[in-house]
Amino acid sequence: MAVPAPRSGKTESYVDNKRKDDIRMANIKAARAVADAVRTSLGPKGMDKMISTASGEVIITNDGATILNKMDVIQPAAKMLVELSKSQDVVAGDGTTTVVVIAGALLKQCQTLLRSGIHPTVVSDSIYKASLKAVEVLTAMAVPVELSDRESLVKSASTSLNSKVVSQYSSLLAPLAVDSVLSVVDPAKPDLVDLRDVKIVKKLGGTVDDTELVKGLVFDKKVSHAAGGPTRVENAKIAVIQFQISPPKTDIEQSIVVSDYTQMDRILKEERNYILSMIKKIKSTGCNVLLIQKSILRDAVTDLSLHYLAKAKILVIKDVERDDIEFITKTLNCLPIANIEHFRAEKLGYADMVEEASLGDGKIVKITGIKDMGRTTTVLVRGSNQLVLDEAERSLHDALCVVRCLVNKKFLIAGGGAPEIELSRQLGAWSKVLHGMEGYCVKSFAEALEVVPYTLAENAGLNPITIVTELRNRHAQGEINAGINVRKGQITNILEENVVQPLLVSTSAITLATECVRMILKIDDIVTVR
């Protein structure tokens, strides 16, 4: 039971029973432990994590969302931080480490406030107010950017890539990310970019330098070579089919008893005629490339049907995944055909060239020169080993998200810890105007934001205290864009160094981190239900 404390009229005091305090502190501790785990991988000089999963695969990554996703977190409050980085990944795509680090710092400040006896609700409301103000300050700092200004877009994409393992290739991957996003932007809906329209195909072999943007389609499969079918077709007419070219099966489990050879011959003849009539229908529309969807019920194609298709000079790519069908039909501007009866010429897609090319140790099929191509793009990522390849794909995804953010909200702000210090300064000044506990809490919020520049400096091996003090000094003199230049190890105007990030990344990081911290603060008990 809580004992009602003798109240003196002057001070606001808050009495809580011990247990609830313990649980709140335990939650904060657990969440901070998670935040500290990813703190070292923040920034261009951040370290990478090597994650070994239960199944024995190894992942090397620098992406906060990936690290936390793979971590097995048991404490419920710490799980909230994992969700937090996931939601940042969905909203902005980049800044997944930043958001967790900010949340960790906020929790640390909240711990101090709660120990001073401030009510959690007061803390929670003040943080919320401060976060709204922070977003205003950030928006005031932002520089508008036009989508036609390709250079700025490339700068922000390369800033995102700089903290990754593949940073040395940022001069190649950044323009590639910008071009691929700009090519899928629909002029009718200029604010929406669906990243599902950018397909990333990974192929082992070569180095990341060989990564290229393909105007068309790439399949990570080979053409079926049965019976010497064609492997290269010009002026292709392409059909995407979802039915099987193979003898029909009965719907129910049953067996057919054949007693003599004439009946067996008749069955085989029927099968042959069935397949031949299908292929004649296909051939009559002038189709010469078939993409066949994977089938579960029975073989999508049999040896016999492949033989006839090869005779008809039709190139066959089988086992196309169900999930890719939508992307393929959008790119080829054709319709998927679900039944042989509906096979008509108007449902076909047209391309100048379909050919098989050997890459590394495997082969791929490229479809180029597509007529009336839909707004999609394929990126062919290469890498010397599987780890580099996976990390290149994740980094590219982050860069694509950064460009997508800029398409959604056309504003840039400086990177390198500059916006955080500026926020810290302005909120610190604002907190002096507020009364009572609120001002105190806002001041703590402002101090918490300094964790980003502090960590950047720490990870780069600089003296964090000197750097952060110097940064504050420069911002107090009115240099809004002064930030930490990690390469030179000193403080410079970071906009001139081309270290920029989209406004959306920073604003969503602050709002999401605040939301998460407020939720953790409000929890005063964990009830386990058996």
The catalytic site residues sit at 63, 96-97, 398
Closest CA relative to residue 288, chosen from 233, 366, 351, 337: 233
Complete DSSP assignment for 469-493: HHHHHHHHTT-TTEEEETTTTEEEE
| Strand ranges of the sheet holding 143-144, from the earlier edge strand across to the other edge | 143-144, 411-414, 500-502
Give me 68's structure tokens.
Answer: 């936390």
> Which H helix or E strand runs over 368?
strand 362-370
Sign (positive or negative) of CA dihedral 495, 501, 503, 509? negative
Beta-bridged to residue 502, according to DSSP, are 412
CA 111 to mean position of chain CA atoms = 32
Tracing tokens 């029975």 back to the chain, one arrives at 298
Q: Is 281 exposed, middle or buried (0-12, 13-18, 19+ CB in 10 A)?
A: middle
Give residue for tokens 């989209």.
502
Nearest-CA neighbor of 127 among 505, 453, 510? 510
User: What are the tokens at 346?
Assistant: 């108007």
CA–CA gap between residue 107 and residue 427 (Å, rounded): 18
Q: Which of 137, 12, 139, 130 is nearest to 517 (CA)?
A: 130
105 token code pair: 């710092």
| CA atoms of 172 and 163, how far apart (whole Å) | 15
Which amino acid does the sequence have at 123?
Answer: V
What residue ranges in 223-333 does DSSP mark as E strands? 232-241, 289-293, 315-320
Q: Please, is 252 exposed, middle or buried when counting C-beta atoms within 10 Å of its C-beta (0-12, 13-18, 19+)?
A: exposed
- Sign of the torsion angle spanned by Cα atoms 316, 322, 323, 325: positive
| Residue 314, CB-side half-sphere exposure with 13 Å CA sphere | 28
Neighbour count for residue 18 (Cβ, 10 Å): 8
The amino acid sitting at 80 is M
User: DSSP per residue over 197-243, as a string?
Assistant: GEEEEEEEBS-GGG-EEESEEEESS----GGG--SEEEEEEEEEE-S
Q: 527 in helix, strand or coil? A: coil
What is the spatial distance between Cα 196 and Cα 121, in angstroms, rounded to a whole number?
41
What is the C-alpha separation between 84 and 88, in angstroms, rounded? Answer: 6
